[in-house]
Structure 1
Amino acid sequence: MGCGDVEAYAAHGRRGHPAGCAVPAVLGRRDGASPRVSPQRGAMSRATVVLIIVASVIVIAGAAGAGLWHVSASPRFCNSCHIMRPYVDAWKVSKHSVVPCVQCHYPPGLRDTLRVKFQAITQVAKWATGTYSSKPFAEVEDASCLRSGCHATSDLEKAGVRTFSRGVRFDHRQHLVVAKTMWQLRCTSCHAQVVVDKHFEIEQSTCFTCHFKGTKGARELVPVAGCTSCHLTPKGDIRVGSVRFNHEDLVRRDVACQSCHLNVVEGQGEAPRERCLTCHNQPEKLERYADLALLHAVHVTEKTIDCTRCHTEIKHRLPPPIGAPTASGPSRALTAIAAFRVVSGR
């Protein structure tokens, strides 16, 4: 009698199933009652449902996270916060207007990107709780600026000396080497956004602090790298008032620039200890005030704190036009003419 002859097997008055035959999971009952589901199959069905639900939640959460990641990386998302609107407006008219915000503000690499994302979440929390500052702080890593396709170090070195406004020369190679600058500078040491309407422009106050701090005496001025490292000697004759002269003649005679160009530098660039108290109140940190190497390593190299946060401002500018009155008396240009006559013997 085969395994399929269950009814014939039962007709002989025997119960169960023929020997060697598997018992079906669902047994039909002759009394018309509903079939019974085995516990094993019921457990498998519940596990399948739970697995489908969990997988669906993961897929939906992943899609939502990817969408939020994309939206939060757009300038439109940055502009949604009212304190960021002036900064976004400045970015729109800057030289970086074609560069997405995250291209600079997110360092290369997934780990650093996640770290910055977490910092951004904390900023959102501060905005939601009303504990944000009206002057947001953003730190742009050198790796973002110097990456390939942007401002690679090799490209800056190949560019050599560049000439900017009013004939001022600049060479990145001299500023990327610690031996030349004493301190390890960052890209944002010079390219900063001190005021809201200037998006990562060259901050001249940084140049003046580095080049003139501690170089000005009562009657002398010896800037770092000298005057001619930034300013070329003017060519040809120049007329100042009734005097005509040639700079090249004075250069050949080793006449110092400041012999004629008086008071072109204002301020000493001091770093009063009281300014430390605006950020620090720990005695152990305040005691390190005289450790210049440590202070510049932390504030310049690591945190890119703007120089004017610690130093008083140094100004470097040309004298006013001939005959223009000044608060201190005669025009500086007229004073320079008198000095020129003394130096040249004319």
Structure 2
Amino acid sequence: MFHPIKWLKELHKRMPLIGKISVLVLLLITITGGGVVSFKFYDFTENNPKFCVSCHLMEPAFTAWEKSEHKNVNCHDCHHLGIIDKNRLLISFVLHRPTSVPPRHGKIIVPWKQCITCHWEKNEEYPNAPRINQSRYHAKHVFMEQVECSKCHGYRTHKFTLEERYCTTCHQGREVHGDGMEKLACLNCHTDLTANLLPARKKCLFCHGSESVRKELIAGGTIDVTHFQPLPDVIKKAKKINVPADAPMQFYCYECHKPHAKIRPDWGDCLIRCHSDELYVGKHEMHVKTMGIKCVECHKPHSWRITQAQAKKDCITCHEYKSPEAFIGP
């Protein structure tokens, strides 16, 4: 009966020293070579995006990745699978030979906790990744409302930049109505400057104000300004307004202007919504009810207060000049 161990011992006794050294060197070369090949194969499968495209199903995704903002990010830095899932995919591919990417079955391919390793925390490997830790948009949607990053930034494979009006897929019926604003991106108006993300006055002045306001907002570096600036011709066509620092009613523009309903306010609403008592102050009742004068014919939008200079110019079209103080008095 053949005994392998006994045979090896006998061979060891008979083999000359040079033979033993040769066998040892051969074993070392085999082990080292096998280790190097194994490491190279592991590194290729785990760290080289070209491995993913070796499966023909991934070709569209690979092409989109090459053109995306993440083209320098390794696939496995975002896509993580456990051993069980990896083997399940391998067996499924070998046995079933699918012709399309399998459905997700409700699974999130890249969870938000993975995204924030670069976009919230500082990642030394990708130091230039845009940070969202100062963004109220992401605080509200990700942390408060539990919206997955891929809901907005991955609805198309490897398309990470939000489309200009993608917000309306969730916020239905919130399209912008109004002359010149129909095609504006949602973030041309909505801003990180306010806690509720509604347009701050200065954000409205990005189009309707001066160049100095635009420079100030751009220097602020909020996401809405850095990624979604209105086109130059839109800014040029926008009606420019001036809000004096001492003007009354220093509130947000959207208190009067309703971009999702009616851009220009119905000035008759002034007396209904806010100034119901004003009708009985001074000579307002005579001017509004008897003469049918609209509020804005005297109170110029955004400055509102009637000055003596304005009264000398406008009031005399109907009657001789009278001081604005006399209008309020007895």
TM > 0.5: no
The structure having more radius of gyration, on CA atoms, is 1
Bigger relative contact order (CA 8 A; separation at least 6): 1
Using structure 2 for the length normalisation, give the TM-score.
0.43
Higher strand share: 1
Using structure 1 for the length normalisation, give the TM-score.
0.41
Higher helix share: 2
